[in-house]
Every structure is written in structure tokens, then in C-alpha cells.
Amino acid sequence: MMIISHRGASGYAPENTLKSFELAVKMGSRAYEFDVHRTRDGVLVVHHDFDLKRTAGSPVRIAALSYDELSKINVAAHFTQDPSFQRVPRLEEVLDVIAAPAEWLNFEVKNDDNLYPGIEASVTDLLKARGIEAKSLISSFDHGTLRRFRALSPGLRLGYLGHNLGTALLLPAMKKAREVGAVNFHMNLRLAFGLNVAKLKREGFNVCIYTVNQKADALRMRSIGVDGIFSNYPDILEK
Ligand code: G3P
Ligand code: CA
């Protein structure tokens, strides 16, 4: 079972910052997940939320800021263990740190209601320019975004991200995942039971579960045949 550093080693360093990714690399991580947004002046950046309220205490939206403005804001302010200044990194900088050691890269593109028109082409171009298509997988909660990625690139590996799924909604979700040609199905730990995982595996999906931060859950995921877990602790199985 693959352990995917979720927002870097975000249990130990502020999520989605260079510090968090550098630490995950130091810990020997080979699989990474991170969230992609775009600034007002078109720079692809890595941050979870659409705004900076939770991480920096400022409700300003990433889409409203230039990169220069964004880079002056401390997004480690929420991380009580170490709130010293960390900025939102450019996606390119994150890839400079993790692309070489990574065997698997999950770009989660946050593009609800197509807030960032054209982001699919920018990300696809970046994968090509860096020659990392083969080890990259694109996922998004916004399924229109996945469809646009598919239209741009028939060979791109896509992951379907289930949003507010219940067991009853699993079959329709699988249908949508197949329609877009997803090879992966990512879902919440709440739904990660043997029967659900078996159904997905029978349909040929690789199944990855978020967010698994307790060792007991990680061991259960492994025992029911999950392919990967997103964890804030890259060393979760060694704890
Ligand atoms: O990509 C898996 C997981 O990160 C999705 O949820 O809210 O942590 O981006 P979220
Ligand atoms: Ca994510």
C-alpha cells in the first residue's frame, strides 16, 4: 500500500509549504499529493483553500491576488507547532523539490465552477514540459474540470474524487468515474469499508483513501486491499 504525503509532511510542518515538502522528501516519501490554485496574474500555486482565512487569518481569495501580493502572506500562521513565516509556493517550486524523488505525483486541481478558466491547459503543458506525465495523476472534486483534462489529453491519468459520497451514491459515482476514463478512485475514510473497496477494485479502479492519520486506520486500509492512503504523516506505519 502506497503512503501518499498529503500536502507534504503536513502533520509535522505547515501544509502545502516548501518546508512541508522538503521534510517529506527527507523522510523518504515517494508519493505526494498537493492542491493547485492560480493567482490573479496567472501563477499556478499550491495551497488547500480558495482563500487564506484558515491558514493566515485573512479572508482574501487567491484568485484576487497577484503572486507578489500572495507571497508576502504567512500561511504558517495557523500551525501552532511552528508558525514562523512560510509563503504559498509556486507549483514549479514544489515540483523542483519533489518531482525527482517522487514515483507518484497527485495534482489535486481546485477549480470549482471553473474559477480558473484554462488551468487544465496550463497544468497539462507543465507536465509535458517537465516530462512527468507518466508518474502524474490529476484529480479534482470538480468533475467538469476532469472532463476538460480528458478532452485535452486522452492519455492523462485521472483520479475521480468522491465528494459527500455515501455508500448508496457509490455506484453512480463509479459510472461518472468510468465516463471520464479515471484510473483511480479517491474517497473519504468514512466510506472505506471492505465491501465498497472490493466493488471499486472489481471495476478496475486503484483505490486511495483520505485522510488517514491514525496507524490503526492505516493497518485496516491495508487489510481491506486499499492501494494508497493520503496521510499527513509519511511515517504513519512506523509510528
Ligand atoms: O486528494 C485527497 C484529499 O486531499 C481530498 O480532500 O479536502 O484534503 O483536498 P482535501
Ligand atoms: Ca487535497
pLDDT per residue as tens digits for the range 184-223? 999 999 999 999 999 999 999 999 999 999 999 999 999 9
How far is 50 from 48, CA to CA, in rounded Å?
Answer: 7
Model pLDDT for residues 28-37, shown as the tens digit of each residue? 999 999 999 9
Q: Is the pLDDT of residue 4 over 90?
A: yes
Ligand 1 atom at minimum distance from 7 CA:
4
The pLDDT, as a whole number, for residue 168 is: 82
**pTM value?**
0.97
CA of 48 to the centre of ligand 2 (A): 6
Question: Is the CB of 230 within 6 Å of ligand 1?
Answer: yes
pLDDT tens digits, 74-99: 999 999 999 999 999 999 999 999 99
For residue 49, pLDDT over 90 is answered with: yes
139 lines ligand 1 (CB under 6 A): yes
Exposed e or buried b per residue across 13-49, where buried means at least 16 C-beta atoms within 10 angstroms of its C-beta: bbbbbbbbbbbbbebebbbbbbbbbbbeeebbbbbbb
Residue 17 pLDDT: 98
Atom of ligand 1 nearest to the CA of 33: 1
Which protein residues have their CB within 5 A of the ion that is ligand 2?
Answer: 35, 108
Q: Whose CA is nearest to atom 2 of ligand 1?
A: 210
Q: Would you state the pLDDT for residue 179?
A: 96
Across the chain, what does the average pLDDT equal? 97
Atom of ligand 1 at shortest range from CA of 208: 2
**Dihedral sign for Cα atoms in the order 36, 37, 39, 40:** positive
Best residue among 106, 230, 231, 232 to mutate for probing ligand 1, ranked by most atoms within 8 Å of CB: 230
Confidence of residue 166 (pLDDT cuts 50, 70, 90): confident
Spacing, Cα 20 to ligand 1 middle (Å): 16
Q: Residue 163 — very low, low, confident or very high, per pLDDT cuts 50/70/90?
A: confident
**Ligand 1 atom nearest residue 186's Cα:** 2
Judge if the beta carbon of residue 7 lies within 6 A of ligand 1: no
Report the residue among 2, 4, 5, 33 best suited for mutation to probe ligand 1: largest number of ligand atoms under 8 A from its CB. 33
| Banded model confidence at residue 162, pLDDT cuts 50, 70, 90 | confident
Does the beta carbon of 15 sit less than 6 angstroms from any atom of ligand 1? no
pLDDT band at 144 (very low <50, low <70, confident <90, very high): very high
Q: Using CA positions, which residue lies closest to atom 3 of ligand 1?
A: 210
The burial class, CB within 10 Å (0-12 / 13-18 / 19+), for 103 is: exposed
Domain range annotation of the chain: 2-238
162 CA distance to ligand 1 middle (Å)? 10
Confidence check: pLDDT of 165 > 90: no
State yes or no: pLDDT of 164 exceeds 90: no
What's the fold here for domain 2-238? TIM Barrel (3.20.20)
Rounded to the nearest angstrom, the distance between the alpha carbon of 47 and the centre of ligand 2 is: 9
- pLDDT of 21: 98
Find the angle CA(164)-CA(223)-CA(172) to the nearest 5 degrees: 30
C-alpha distances in Å from residue 47, one per residue of 55, 76, 148, 166: 9, 11, 22, 27
